[in-house]
């Protein structure tokens, strides 16, 4: 399914000069990963401290964009500058889940937003990432399939916070958006699981035919006798 994640190669191309500059300065991939997580935690704390104010919501789209840029940069630093590590992989996966929770859970405090919908969305978001990681454990590649991957969530929640920040009132449209997010998250979990299982099946060789049974050998001997 189409996803904002499909735009990642072009986004990385725009960030490559900045990535080279950071590498020359000695900035590591893990430092960038931690910076993205700390930025998300600080923004989430600020939102939670002012749940009724609309101004702080305007920060969310900008922070989500910066976070996506940092996530792209840490990956490029790791791959292109020899900074891959087990710690980096762990930080990358955990950082995404922590950052999502930090940025989105405070929205449950916004007047007019259904708190349960935000909590369930955060739980499902964590489940999508878990499904993507478990794919590696069963022998498939890390799955990033949509329609509601990390980048898609950032886009949708960013637009939602922007609309609320500029003065849009909560109501049926926010309920609709959150319902669509939940449905898309469930579909993402199913999609990633299905693609992972299909990939494993394609990579698994079929069973060997094995030796013929006594019945098969006897039948073959009869055929040879008749032909002789």
Kindly tell me if the per-residue pLDDT of 228 is higher than 50. no
For 140, list phi and psi in degrees, rounded to 5: -95, 180
- Report if pTM > 0.75: yes
Distance CA 226, CA 228 (A): 5
List, for residues 4-44, the tens digit of each pLDDT value: 666 777 888 888 999 999 999 999 999 999 999 999 999 99
- Which sign, positive or negative, has the C-alpha torsion 208, 209, 213, 217? negative
**According to the model, what pLDDT value does residue 226 have?**
43
If we measure between CA atoms, which residue out of 54, 90, 86 comes closest to residue 162?
Answer: 54
| Cβ contacts of 202 within 8 Å, gap of 6 or more | none
pLDDT in tens, 57-78: 999 999 999 999 999 999 999 9
Taking alpha carbons only, the member of 101, 98, 99, 92 closest to residue 33 is: 92
Mean pLDDT, rounded, for 181-195: 97
Confidence of residue 114 (pLDDT cuts 50, 70, 90): very high
Burial 35-49 (b: 16+ CB within 10 A, else e): bbbebbeebbeebee
Determine contact, residues 171/112, Cβ cutoff 8 Å. yes
**Chain mean pLDDT for the chain:** 89
pLDDT over threshold 80, residue 201: yes
76: left (phi over 0), alpha (psi -120 to 50) or beta: alpha
């Amino acid at each position: 399914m189409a996803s904002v994640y499909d735009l990642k190669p072009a986004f990385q191309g725009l960030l490559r000069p900045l990535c080279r500059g950071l590498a020359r300065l000695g900035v590591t991939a893990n430092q960038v990963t931690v910076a993205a997580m700390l930025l998300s935690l600080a923004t989430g704390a600020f939102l939670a401290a002012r749940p009724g104010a609309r101004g702080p919501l305007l920060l969310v789209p900008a922070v989500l964009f910066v976070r996506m840029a940092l996530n792209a940069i840490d990956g490029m630093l790791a791959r292109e500058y020899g900074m891959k590590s087990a710690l980096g992989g762990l930080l990358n996966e955990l950082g995404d889940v922590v950052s999502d929770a930090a940025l989105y859970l405070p929205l449950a405090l916004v007047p007019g937003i259904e708190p349960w919908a935000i909590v369930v969305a955060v739980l499902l978001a964590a489940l999508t990432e878990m499904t993507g990681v478990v794919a590696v454990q069963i022998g498939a590649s890390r799955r990033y399939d949509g329609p509601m991957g990390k980048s898609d969530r950032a886009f949708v929640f960013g637009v939602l916070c922007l609309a609320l920040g500029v003065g849009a009132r909560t109501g049926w449209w926010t309920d609709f958006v959150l319902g669509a997010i939940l449905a898309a998250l469930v579909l993402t979990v199913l999609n990633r699981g299905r693609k992972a299982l299909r990939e494993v099946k394609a990579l698994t060789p079929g069973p060997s035919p094995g030796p013929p049974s006594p019945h098969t050998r006897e039948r073959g001997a009869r055929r040879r006798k008749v032909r002789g």
